[in-house]
Structure 1
Amino acid sequence: MGDRDGSRNLTFGMLETLGREIVTGHYEGGRFPTEDDLTARFAVSRTVTREAVKMLTAKGLLTARPRAGTTVQPASMWSVFDPDVLRWMLERKLSLDLLRHFNELRSAIEPQAAALAARAGPSPAYAAIEAGLQRMEEAERGEDDTLEADIAFHIAVLEASANPFFLQFRDMVATALRTSIRFTNRFKGRSADVPAHRAVFTAIQAGDPVAARTAMTAIIGEVMEFITTAKVKQ
């Protein structure tokens, strides 16, 4: 078990380093290192190297062709819904365009998820939304983490939609929200708007899909306004 865990840790460590390097343009204009080069650089076995490269390929970052070797894929081929890829993209120099694109996706998903949650009726997921809201209120008093509380609320709404396709966005939304919320909170000089989030929960709890959609749209719309304003000031 120990050897297996150690090998897995080496693989994920290699994946993390190489993934970040690819996304930040470290290999632009040049070929990706060979298996021998990578094995020597990271002082790992060929098995570890192959597994890391296989994972990067699955994420759309690399491609292997006969005689051409392993090469870096253009950004248009990256699996941007993959939480690791999205995290690496967001960790590089802050891109307001990327934040805008992400929130445009949110505006297409989360308001509808809120409406579906209201239409679905009471379920155990409602308790998770309320718990997220309570955490946000506690965070306002310094008793919880504002970022984690906000994320918990939005993920709970996705889960309450009872739509398995929306649930697939859970990890992606959580990953991207960490950067988006940090940006907007820093720009606004305060944490999330608790009353606005409470309006979403109240509408869901009341079984009012129109009000739930409207309330969630308002939250994301405010974020888009801050991004637009910040972009003008650049």
Structure 2
Amino acid sequence: MIDPVPSQARTALGRNLTHGLLDVVGRAIVTGQYDGKRFPTEAELTVQHGVSRSVTREAVKMLTAKGLLSARPRQGTIVQPTSAWNLFDTDVLRWLLERKFTLPLLRSFSELRLAVEPVAAQLAARYATSAGKARIAAGFARMEAAERGDDDALDADIAFHIAILRACGNPFFAQFEELVGTALRTSIRFTNRFKGRSASLPAHKAVLEAIEAGDDTLAGAMMRSIIEEVMVLIRQAESEGAAADRDGLLHG
């Protein structure tokens, strides 16, 4: 019997068809491929991707649980607005990195970082164990190595910030690891546009030294200054964008 569905589409999903379909469709939703378009029915997805109805149904359920889809009577399955997405979900965060860059997204990430990371640095200064401080120091050492070209600058920066979240002694803060990592990746994409700017080693060293010294006030203030620097660049970019829009209206 001839397979009625496209085998190439099924092969592209990998061995685990459900998770493969989840990844392909989830990425398409988050990156805007369905914006302004009708979302396919389960039957259409089944044919498009060469999988069984049960695989499609399970993938749609998983996407619904992530807040990306919803099923409504007489409307079928529709794509949910961004406000309904589970932005703490690791898959959603990963797909967001592939989305077209926007200043509002970076601002949202940075505002959340401002609410979380300075407090985490304060708590780390108060409660970090010797092992926790060693991991933060190791993260900074990687940043120094990256400056010499011996490590990846972005991965080293993320390792430093994640080490602080883990060292602060509050398990809830550790849950922000994926979000902070995604925020940093988004931030670097943005700041690299400004003369190839990279993370400030002196500022990060000041955070490390404050934590090692147990100075929670200074640790929080220095972490805040790191993130505020990004906010300054965002405001600058927004102002330049607004000025460009005004010029376009005046001279268009």
Q: TM-score, length-normalised on structure 2?
A: 0.85
Query: How many angstroms apart in 1 are the aligned matches of 2:14 and 2:87?
Result: 28
Give yes or no for the alignment of 1:34 onto 2:14: no
Equivalent in 70, 85, 95 of residue 102 of structure 2: 95
**Are the aligned partners of 2:67 and 2:86 in contact in 1 as well (CA < 8 Å)?**
yes
Size of the aligned set, in residue pairs, is 229
Equivalent in 199, 202, 205 of residue 195 of structure 1: 202
Give yes or no for the alignment of 1:170 onto 2:174: no
Deviation at 1:29, TM superposition (A): 4.1
Query: How many angstroms apart in 1 are the aligned matches of 2:110 and 2:150?
Result: 28
Q: TM-score, length-normalised on structure 1?
A: 0.91
Query: How many angstroms apart in 2 are the aligned matches of 1:94 and 1:166?
Result: 26
Deviation at 1:207, TM superposition (A): 0.6
Q: Extract unaligned runs of 5+ from structure 1.
A: none
Query: How many angstroms apart in 2 are the aligned matches of 1:183 and 1:216?
Result: 19
Equivalent in 33, 57, 60 of residue 64 of structure 2: 57
Where does 1:68-87 land on structure 2 (aligned, <5 Å)? 68-87=75-94
Deviation at 1:200, TM superposition (A): 0.4
Query: How many angstroms apart in 1 are the aligned matches of 2:219 and 2:74?
Result: 55
Query: How many angstroms apart in 1 are the aligned matches of 2:158 and 2:38?
Result: 39
Query: What is the RMSD of the two structures over their aligned residues, measured on CA atoms?
Result: 1.8
Deviation at 1:137, TM superposition (A): 0.2
Question: Which stretch of the first structure deviates more once superposed, 112-121 or 75-84?
Answer: 75-84
Partner of 2:55: 48
Query: What secondary structure is seen at the aligned counterpart in 2 of 1:186?
Result: coil
Q: Extract unaligned runs of 5+ from structure 2.
A: 1-12, 242-252
Query: How many angstroms apart in 2 are the aligned matches of 1:122 and 1:89?
Result: 34
Equivalent in 222, 226, 229 of residue 219 of structure 1: 226
Q: Max radius of gyration: which structure?
A: 2
Deviation at 1:68, TM superposition (A): 3.5
Query: How many angstroms apart in 2 are the aligned matches of 1:138 and 1:63?
Result: 47
Q: Cα gap change, 1:128/1:188 in structure 2, threshold over 3 Å: closer, same or farther?
A: farther
Counterpart amino acid of 1:168?
A: Q
Query: How many angstroms apart in 2 are the aligned matches of 1:226 and 1:87?
Result: 24
Deviation at 1:121, TM superposition (A): 4.0
**Are the aligned partners of 1:118 and 1:204 in contact in 2 as well (CA < 8 Å)?**
yes
Partner of 2:236: 229
Deviation at 1:216, TM superposition (A): 0.2
Deviation at 1:188, TM superposition (A): 3.9
Partner of 1:126: 133
Query: What secondary structure is seen at the aligned counterpart in 2 of 1:64?
Result: strand
Question: Which stretch of the first structure deviates more once superposed, 195-204 or 85-94?
Answer: 85-94
Counterpart amino acid of 1:171?
A: E
Find runs of 4+ consecutive structure 1 residues off by over 6 angstroms.
Answer: none
Query: How many angstroms apart in 2 are the aligned matches of 1:6 and 1:83?
Result: 20
